[in-house]
Amino acid sequence: MKKKAKVSLTIDQRIKRRNFISFGVFGAMGAAAYGGWKWLYNAPQEVPGVTAGTRAPLRRALNKTELFFRRLTFNENHLVKTYPVEMAVKTVRHNEDIGSDSTIDFDQWKLEVIKNNGQKLYVDLDQIKALPKTDLVFDFKCVEGWDQIQHWGGLLMRDFVRHFGLDEETSLDYMGLTTPDKQYYVGLDMPSAMHPQTLLAYEMNGKPLPPQHGKPLRLIIPVKYGIKNLKRIGSMTFSNQRPPDYWAEQGYDYYSGL
């Protein structure tokens, strides 16, 4: 039936007709795309919780994308490439002081571990240093895009957990770490926290940590961007819900995994 109608049209009419249809559809799709973009760009902010700061649909996409890649690729045996110690930079770049800029008495410092049963465990630096030290020279990656080969030394998180009998706690989904002044905090999925290269670091370039790099104890988690590498750890918690995360509240991906 359509064909018959076509035959009766002249070439000019057919050209006009097809132009009208295709440009009409093109214009309509263009307008729809623009409308969709405007909708997305002005979509409501997510409800502030452990994450905030971004548009709700974008947050959904970030979470889904991260889950997709985790299911596809995450394997705790995927190790971060390590380098010979000579390749480590002498001047380690320093970006932020949030949470590590208040004054604390370093001699009084203890790591507070809040266990499942509500019991609190306090660990001082000597107890941590008494356990086997692990050195790690790896390419530290900042979410801003710079990277540096850095040399850290400390206690593997795995060794820490094993020694202090936290197996029950680490069977939960998340670990939360907070600075003593509670100004900076990160939430970590347990597989990343328990990654065989995750360190509770107390040394940088073979010397005790300088204050601006997180004295007395900081996290070095090579499977995450630098924003997750909390300086000056105060307390450690465990949960099946995502703990609050400073940069995720500013709109960054919660996992920030590499």
Partner 1 sequence: MKAIKEKHPLVMRWTHWINFPLLGIMIWSGLLIYWANDVYTVTIFGHTFVRFFPQWFYDALHIPQRLSEGMAFHFLFMWFFTLNGIFYVLYTAISGEWRHLLPNKHSFKEAWLVLLHDLHIKKTAPPQGKYNAAQRIAYTAIILMGAGSVLTGLAIYKPVQFNWLTWLMGGYHLARIWHFVLTLGYVFFFLVHVIQVVLAGWNNFRSVISGFEVIRQHEPKINIETDEKES
Residues that bind partner 1 (CB under 8 A): 11-12, 14-15, 18-19, 22-23, 26, 29, 33, 37, 53-55, 58-59, 61-62, 65, 69, 73-75, 78-81, 139, 141-147, 222-223, 247, 250-253, 257-258
Nearer to partner 1, 180 or 222 (CB): 222
Residue 2: CB minimum distance to partner 1, A: 11
Residue 4: CB minimum distance to partner 1, A: 15
Residue 187: CB minimum distance to partner 1, A: 16
Nearer to partner 1, 169 or 245 (CB): 245
Nearer to partner 1, 69 or 122 (CB): 69
Nearer to partner 1, 62 or 113 (CB): 62
Residue 215: CB minimum distance to partner 1, A: 26
Using the CB atoms, write b or e for 131-141: b if 16+ within 10 Å: bebbebbbebb
Nearer to partner 1, 217 or 223 (CB): 223
Torsion angle defined by CA atoms of residues 132, 133, 135 and 136, in that order, rounded to the nearest 10 degrees: 80
Residue 68: CB minimum distance to partner 1, A: 9
Residue 37: CB minimum distance to partner 1, A: 7
Using the CB atoms, write b or e for 19-40: b if 16+ within 10 Å: eeeeeeeeeeeeeeeeeeeeee
Nearer to partner 1, 17 or 120 (CB): 17
Please list the residues that pair with 176 across neighbouring strands.
187, 237
Nearer to partner 1, 112 or 139 (CB): 139
Residue 15: CB minimum distance to partner 1, A: 6
In whole angstroms, give the CA distance from residue 241 to residue 173: 7
In whole angstroms, give the CA distance from residue 233 to residue 184: 9
